Amino acid sequence: MLRAQNCVLNLPTGTVDYIRFGSGRKPLILLPGVGDGLKTVKGMALPFALLYRSLAEHFTVYVFSRRRILSPGMTTRDMAEDLNIAMDALGLPSASVIGVSQGGMIAQWLAIDHPEKVKKLVLTVTLSRPNATIRDVIKRWLRMSDHGDYKGIMLDTAERSYSDKRLKQARLTYRLLGSIGKPRSFKRFRIQAASCATHDAYDLLDHIVCPTLVIGGTEDKIVTGQASVEMAERIPNCKLYMYKGLGHGLYEEAPDFLKRVSNFCR
């Protein structure tokens, strides 16, 4: 049922790593967050398929990384155009799209610029315009990347993402990952992180015409819960669900997250 595959797509703009799994008739695209700048999905087909196996029965799932080599100053809108080209190359005329964090920023632009490509849209722990919180977080991460402090980025992300209960486990895991997973270069991460701090689609959110579900956490310390609320207020045909007491990592912590998303996209 999983049919997990690691794939590579050579586009005119560059090389993109993506994975595919599932046997469902409906296509579903997952767009990960800014951590993609530290490690693409290359070689991660089976772990992703196992993690999201509840989606595999009803959907054929595609998880796209950003292109391997990013141009300096690339915006989230540029990254959405890469995704549009990738969908054309794979013969995907449309799909349901789930964007998490920066992935949600990219998904907004795809739905705005290419509405025919997005059947349903799920925007999870993301924002539509910069706020003081995201600016401070990105500034901190960029400063850490200047010093090659991979472990610091991982631990800071954990501290800002999880509940106290989950943090105990996350701190141990991220300390280990921080020792063995350091990327050779932080260039991709810096470009992706900088694009988060300048993302601004707020004034065009009313151009999103597909059914949309916005999911946020009241305790989000990276993009804020208010960012989800203001998006939902501006997008037509939109539903909002806020997880009380959870933050930026709610898609890992909330036991009903995948069921909620699957039901909406089905």
CATH level 3 topology of 5-128+201-265: Rossmann fold (3.40.50)
At 241 the pLDDT is: 98
At 65 the pLDDT is: 98
At 63 the pLDDT is: 98
Beta strands across the sheet bearing 59-64: 5-11, 14-21, 59-64, 26-31, 95-100, 118-124, 212-217, 238-243
Strands 95-100, 59-64: pairing kind: unpaired
At 178 the pLDDT is: 67
At 179 the pLDDT is: 67
At 86 the pLDDT is: 98
Which residue ranges in the chain fall short of pLDDT 50? none
At 223 the pLDDT is: 98
Domain boundaries, the chain: 5-128+201-265
At 167 the pLDDT is: 83
